[in-house]
Amino acid sequence: MRVISGSARGRPLKAVPGSGTRPTTDKVKEALFSMIGPYFDGGDVLDLFAGTGGLGIEALSRGMARGVFIDADAKSVDVVRSNLEATKLTEQAEVYRNDAFRALKALAKREAAFELVFLDPPYRLKRIVELLDELQELRLLKPGATVVVEHDAGDMQEEQVGQLRQRRRAEYGDTAITIYELEGNA
């Protein structure tokens, strides 16, 4: 597992000890960023259910200005911090240990808003629509924002949730990526 492109290209990323997380493979990451980027000119990224932080770190490496990384697992939070240090992206990032829904409420209180959001919850957590609704209700998405959902390939996601419209879906073995784009000025 490594950073594929950008300022931290080639730097290895640590995995979270144990089998509680499933890091996005380099192949999936490369395909994903070719669909949503591949590079960015600033902006804020939210990596919810961060795990290793690999998706958010890749976005920072490719030009996003700031990143917020959230995971409920203490080991994951430690690994994200370590990976940010290894990629020299610590100054551009905030890392929090928190439940996803509580974290979204806390971000809303700070009036945070993001151009790019990664949702990669445990596959058994079937709350994608709730999370997409919450992002919109709490006004955490900037106009035209992209939300990337990584999920089990057997799960079909909604075509539209509020003002988020599905732009693309791709499968990679048992993993699927569904990309939403915010329409209008939510």
User: Read out DSSP for 117-173?
Assistant: EEE---TT---HHHHHHHHHHTT-EEEEEEEEEEEETTPPPPSEETTEEEEEEEEET
Please state the domain count of the chain: 1
pLDDT given for residue 142 in this prediction: 97
pLDDT given for residue 20 in this prediction: 66
Residue 8 lies in a domain: no
Residue 174 lies in a domain: yes
Domain housing 102: 26-182
Confidence of residue 56 (pLDDT cuts 50, 70, 90): very high
Residue 56 lies in a domain: yes
pTM of the model: 0.94
Average pLDDT in the 72-86 region? 96
**Mean pLDDT value across the chain:** 93
Partners of residue 12 on adjacent β-strands: 2
Q: How far is 43 from 66, CA to CA, in rounded Å?
A: 7
Which CATH number goes with the domain that contains 108? 3.40.50.150
For the chain, first and last CA: distance in Å?
A: 36
Residue 14 lies in a domain: no
Residue 122 lies in a domain: yes
Per-residue pLDDT at 186 exceeds 50 = no
